[in-house]
Structure 1
Amino acid sequence: MKKFARIFKYLGDKKGNILLYFLFNLLSILFSLVSLAMLAPFLQLLFGKEKLLTAEPAFEWTAAGVMQYMKFQLSHLISDNGPVYALAAICITIIISIFFKNLFLYLGLRVLTPMRNHVMTKLRAELYSRILQLPIGYFTEQRKGDIISRMSNDINEVEWSIIGAMEVLIKEPLTLIIVVVSLIFLSPALSMFLLILLPLTGFVIGRVSRTLKKQSNTAQEQQGLLLSVLDETLGGMRVIKAFNAEKLISGKFSGINKYLNHVRNMMNFRRDLASPMSEFLGVMVLTAILWFGGRLVLNNQAGLEADGFITYIVFFTQIINPAKAFSNAFYNVQRGSAAIARIEEIITAPLKVEEAPDAKPLHSFNSSIEFRNVSFAYEDAIILDDINLVIEKGKTIALVGSSGSGKSTLADLVPRFHDVTKGEILIDGVNIKSYTLESVREQLSIVTQEPILFNDTIAANIALGKPDATQAEIEHAARVANAHDFISHKEDGYQTNIGDRGSKLSGGERQRLTIARALLKNPPILILDEATSSLDTESERLVQDAIDHMMQNRTSIVIAHRLSTIRHADEIIVLQKGKIVERGNHDSLITQNGFYKRLVDMQEVK
């Protein structure tokens, strides 16, 4: 039950609904038993198979005592009003009982449905919220398709296997308990025999379902792989076609798809075995009771008359369908528990970047950003080693180095996408961890090498960091970013939808939108991952002009790929294998004739 603790937690504020659902099902079961209990003994009395009772028996809380008292009442009804009237009374009573049985059954479902949807809404919200909270590093380890699979397929599996089984797991055990109690009340001797056989059937069903959870987990993992391949296919369609790799990618997809088909077949074979197996085992128990109990009745050893034994058998038949439903639900819960485990992996993933309980807001950036003896390691790999750097307000600092030297990681430490392993980062002399995450990130904007846009309108993308921006503010930011002209030529202007990841725009247009977005936020700190390195000459000029406008009167950290763009930086930091190997302005680094000079020479040769 620990696996489902999260679901029970979501139901914590629904205790009233749970009690109502329990009550409605209890009443439904009782009315169902009333209708069944009236048939065999009362019809025997009505059709003359048994003599009418003329003397009122003493009422006793035993099966025989209750039955005798009810027979006396029916005998009295037959004597006073005739058998036809009594038959009508029995029929009306049965109709009323069945009506109330189904009414309470419906009311139970009316109570259950909002609880079911409430749990799923809370689970989706918590999972999505956790995804937003997890550090950037978490997503470099995970396949995007697998995370999407957990958010979609695993959530659906939980809904249909576990939440769908909630009805059965409450109603059917309740039915079984009430029926078994009724059977014990009717005949303790026969019921002892029953209580030995039922656990044996449950043990058999449990053994068969044992591997279902493992198979379900495998199926969900393969579904995640399938979505990952699909995501890579959609994102790399140009490359796939250019390299005639359709067969290779199709073969990869087909292999995963066939294995997923095999695993799901095996799962369904086991699940589909639940209902017929439980019915067969139930009938075996029924046959055993019929043989054993019939002999006791015939030998007058059961404490039951023939009509009571028939009622006992009728009641026992009411165990078979709930047992079938319960075994099906049990199989489904085994499948769902694997899905819950996969969802829990994300929800319980550690937050490596956490906000201090007493964190205070950073209202403004006034003096400097300082890296003091900063080191950062990812697992066993050292990415940054003992970095000491002060970035004064209003200065432009460029980060230069070969691929993997730690440039992006160093810049990512400022917005706390990662936390330092050793040392500290200070803003205005205060450790960055002392500030709230939101307030730190409010002081900066990032323009990445690859423009990251969303499937929304141009205006909505520009206003991402300032949702309450006016149209005039959005247009001003677009003008400064050299984007207003191309936006104005769009049919719907600023309300034009740009498609998935901005696919309806050119590379230069996408990049100018990201600059407009950063400008509208108007932060004092800018982090720029060379935004012009993948653009054509004309687009590069427009984007570079926009960047120059944006950097005015701001503190800028520039990750430089094209060294020609950072000649006028106040300080250039040269990184190699996570260490600062050179530092200074462009001219001083050229005169040092070191690593930076070699990089400049290589780019000039190109």
Structure 2
Amino acid sequence: MDSNAPDSTNRGDRTVGPYRRLMPYVRRYWPRLAIGFFFGALYGAANGALVWAIKNGLKESFEGEGDTPLGAVIVAVLFFPAVGALRGLAHFLSKYHVRWVGNRVVRDLRDGMFKQLHKLSVSYFSNSRSGELISRVSNDTMLVELAVSNVIIDMATQPFTLIFMTIWIFVVDAKLAMVSLVLFPLCIIPISAFGLRVRRHTKVAQERIADVVSILQESIAGVRIVKAFGMEEYETNRFMAKTRSYFERTMHVCKAEAGIEPIVVFVAMLSIAAVLVYVRMTHMPIADFLAFVTAMFMMYEPVKKIGRIHVRMQQSRASAERVFEVLDTEALVVDREDAVALGDDVQAITFDHVAFSYGNEPVLKDVSFCVAPGERVAFVGSSGAGKTTLVNLVPRFYDVTGGSIRFGEQDVRDLTLQSLRSRIGLVTQETFLFDDTVANNISYGARDADPSAIKDAAKRAYAHDFILDMPLGYDTVIGERGVRLSGGQRQRLAIARAILRNPPILILDEATSSLDTESERMVQAALDDLMAGRTVLAIAHRLSTITTCDRIIVLDQGHIIERGSHEELLALDGTYKRLYDMQFG
């Protein structure tokens, strides 16, 4: 399997309907669900008792002797409030427990998606928009939540009411019940058609809201570029086009949902008309008639809500599919079943005829070299030569497509990812810091570090002084991506993080290329301290930062074309010499 293509989706799982896929999540909480359904049944029984009380109360009133029959008074004073209270309590408890299950299922889905995203290979994120993924975790799961909660709530209460009312009207008059119910199947065909339309439009609507989130995220992240190039109006128009498309799709969904009630009401009115004709012909007692009509009216709400269940299920089906697409995606860079932990001893890193491709595009071709423990090796070359790809293979962000990478005599694919990556420190050009305190950013990856160790790492990274100048020192929150810091300050915090981790292997990916001269001097001093006694793989744009490396490897179009020390490569008078002369004249 090509581990450098986007992580694949398990198609076999997708053949199963998304609601069947949700069942294991729901079954985890069957006790609460059972409680919800119990009180739903009690709610339906209370509705039946209410109709019975109405019938008997009316019968006493219209057919009893005397001005105010005692039975009618007892029913009015005691039974109606008691049944009303029981009905309300049952509805509350049923709705609460069922809604708890729905919300907990969606919490589990969100947690599962987040956990799954962190299992996926780097290639998956290289081929996915972050806004799209955010939308799936937030918006799509929200639609699933609404559907699951509302569908289960309606399934827990409405069918019982419908069943009790149906039984009751058959008890009152079986022939009249048959006449009134014969028209209800007419609702099925249009409701099914509306459901299919809702599903189709909801799928497109969720894709549009994902576009909205992506544009919003890009515009906020790139606000300086947007303003610098005067593109505010362009970005606004782009955003509005997507929100307009989303609005149009949601209105299609609204029309389909709104079409259900008129159909049910029309069929209900036909049924009422049939009942009136029947009563006229049979001279039905007034108490039975009113009880029958009350029961029928109490049936209409369950019929409408059960009709909406189909629409809601179709509405959330597209979202559920998008959620399970993420959950079903297989991570391609994973531990083998017989993977072993990398030992504590620092070992040589060997690239043995390594080849790598992004899909069908070759990036590295027949690359072979060995880095001894404690050796510093730098990689140079023009943009696109394969430098970053090469170092990304060491921590297995990707897997090789040919050859092998070994630590000592062990293939990296035979090592556990946790043990491999715990031995590697990474400092890149684009430093990523979290919207957290300085101390927590430095201790990221070493959460049990004590404050003295954090401060020591900051001092060695030449970051301690500027940290003390902050309002709260090490407890200062630095903003998203460290927005409140300069580039040099962010880089020194990243170096402090690597120092605290204390890895035997260090990867530097153009760690000083975007800094001004003063910042570069400070960062380079911190890097020199960090590199001491470690195996270093360094990518450098500024050749002045790698002249002291033990070896320099020159890459061109995925091939190694030169290798040697700085002095040896200058004497070779080849590509490295040309790059050096371009920078230093």
Q: Aligned residue for 1:87?
A: 72
Alignment partner, residue 568 of structure 1:
548
Residues 45, 234 of structure 1: alpha-carbon distance in 2 compared, 3 angstrom cutoff: closer
Are residues 480 and 312 of structure 1, via their aligned partners in 2, closer, same or farther at CA, if it must alter by over 3 Å? same
Query: Could you tell me which residue of structure 1 aligns to residue 62 of structure 2?
Result: 47
Q: What is the SS of the residue equivalent to 2:329?
A: coil
Aligned match for 1:394, one of 351, 371, 374: 374
Instruction: Tell me whether 1:158 sits opposite 2:144 in the alignment.
Output: yes
Q: Could you tell me how far 1:204 is from its partner in structure 2?
A: 1.3
- The whole-number CA distance in structure 2 between the counterparts of 1:177 and 1:374 is 69
Residues 505-520 of structure 1: matches in 2 within 5 Å?
505-520=485-500
Q: Secondary structure at the match of 1:38?
A: helix
- 2:511 aligned partner, one-letter code: A
Distance in structure 1 (CA, Å) of the matches to 2:179 and 2:420: 71
2:9 corresponding residue in structure 1: none
Task: Tell me if the contact between 2:433 and 2:441 (Cα under 8 Å) persists in the aligned partners.
Answer: yes
Q: Note if contact 1:278-1:323 (Cα within 8 Å) is conserved in structure 2.
A: yes
Instruction: Kindly indicate whether the alpha-carbon contact (under 8 Å) linking 1:274 and 1:331 is maintained by their aligned counterparts in 2.
Output: no
The question of whether the paired residues in 1 share the 8 Å contact of 2:393 and 2:399 is answered with yes
Deviations 1:234-259 (A, max 9, x none): 22222222222222222212222222
Match of 1:40, as an amino acid? K
Alignment match of 1:409 (pick from 367, 377, 389): 389
Contact 1:365/1:443, CA 8 A, preserved across alignment? no
- Structure 1, unmatched stretches of 5+, are 53-77, 299-303
> Which of residues 296, 311, 314 in structure 1 aligns to 2:291?
311
Residue 414 (structure 1) shift: 1.2
Cα distance between partner residues in 1 of 2:323 and 2:131 = 14
2:311 matches 1:331? yes
Aligned match for 1:114, one of 75, 97, 100: 100
Match of 2:166 in 1: 180
Question: How many angstroms apart in 1 are the aligned matches of 2:179 and 2:353?
Answer: 77
1:106 Cα deviation after fit: 1.9
Give the C-alpha shift of residue 117 in structure 1: 2.5
Q: Name 2:401's counterpart in structure 1.
A: 421
Quote the Cα distance in structure 1 between the aligned partners of 2:111 and 2:580: 50
Q: Deviations over 1:154-208 (max 9, x none)?
A: 2222222332332013322332233334444554444445554222212211212
What is aligned with 1:124?
Answer: 110
Taking the aligned partners of 1:365 and 1:195, their CA distance within structure 2 comes to 80
**Shift in Å, 1:466:** 0.7
Cα deviation, 1:387-433, whole Å, max 9, x if unaligned, reads 22222111111122221222111111111111222332221211212
Is the CA contact 1:46–1:83 (under 8 Å) kept in the aligned structure 2? yes
1:88-487 → structure 2 map (5 Å cutoff): 88-91=73-76, 92-193=78-179, 196-291=182-277, 293-294=278-279, 297=282, 307-308=287-288, 310-487=290-467
Q: Which has the higher relative contact order, 1 or 2, with Cα contacts under 8 A spaced 6 or more apart?
A: 2
Note if contact 1:462-1:520 (Cα within 8 Å) is conserved in structure 2.
yes
**Alignment partner, residue 502 of structure 1:** 482
Q: Distance in 1 between matches of 2:172 and 2:339?
A: 68
- Paired amino acid for 1:138: Y
User: Is contact 2:379-2:387 (8 Å) kept?
Assistant: yes
Q: Which residue of 1 aligns with 2:43?
A: 28
| Structure 2: distance between partners of 1:426 and 1:288 | 84
Quickly say closer, same or farther: Cα 1:458–1:281, change in 2 above 3 A. Answer: same
SS at match of 1:497: coil
Structure 1 letter corresponding to 2:218: E
Contact 1:271-1:328 at 8 Å conserved across structures: yes
Post-superposition CA distance 1:325-345 (Å, at most 9, x none) = 223343233222222122222
- In the TM superposition, residue 482 of structure 1 has moved relative to its aligned partner by 0.9
Give identity over the alignment, percent: 34
2:99–2:149 contact (8 Å) kept in structure 1: no
Other structure's SS at 1:572 match: strand
For 1:3, the aligned partner's letter is: P
C-alpha distance in structure 2 between counterparts of 1:590 and 1:343, whole Å: 55
Deviates more, 1:159-168 or 1:532-541: 159-168
Amino acid at match of 1:9: P
> 1:185-233: CA deviations, max 9, x gaps?
5544444455542222122112123211221122222112122222221
Evaluate the alpha carbon distance shift between residue 398 and residue 198 of structure 1 in structure 2; reply closer, same or farther with a 3 A threshold: same
What SS does structure 1 have at the residue aligned with 2:258?
helix
Number of aligned residues: 569
- Taking a change above 3 Å as real, the CA distance of residues 194 and 599 of structure 1, as seen in their structure-2 partners, is farther
1:419 partner SS: coil
Distance 1:411 1:590 in 2: 24
Q: TM-score, normalised by structure 1?
A: 0.89
Q: Give me the whole-angstrom Cα distance separating, in 2, the residues matched to 1:107 and 1:246.
A: 51
By how many angstroms is 1:372 displaced? 2.2
SS for the counterpart of 2:549 is: coil
Distance 1:497 1:197, change over 3 A: same
1:533 alignment partner, one of 513, 534, 540: 513
User: Is 1:491 paired with 2:471?
Assistant: yes
Unaligned stretches of 5+ residues in structure 2:
1-15
Secondary structure of 2:446's counterpart equals: coil
Task: Tell me: CA distance 1:175–1:577, structure 2 relative to 1, closer, same or farther (3 Å).
Answer: farther
Matched to 2:44, the amino acid is: I
* Offset at residue 41 of structure 1 (A): 5.0
Residue of structure 2 in register with 1:67 after alignment: none
Q: 1:398·1:559 contact (CA, 8 Å) conserved in 2?
A: yes
Q: Does residue 548 of structure 2 align to residue 601 of structure 1?
A: no
Counterpart for residue 547 of structure 1: 527
> Could you tell me how far apart the structure 1 residues matched to 2:268 and 2:579 are?
81
Q: CA deviation at 1:7?
A: 3.0
Aligned partners of 2:582 and 2:281: how far apart in 1?
A: 101
Deviations 1:42-65 (A, max 9, x none): 52344337xx9xxxxxxxxxxxxx
Counterparts of 1:197 and 1:555 in 2: how far apart (Å)? 81
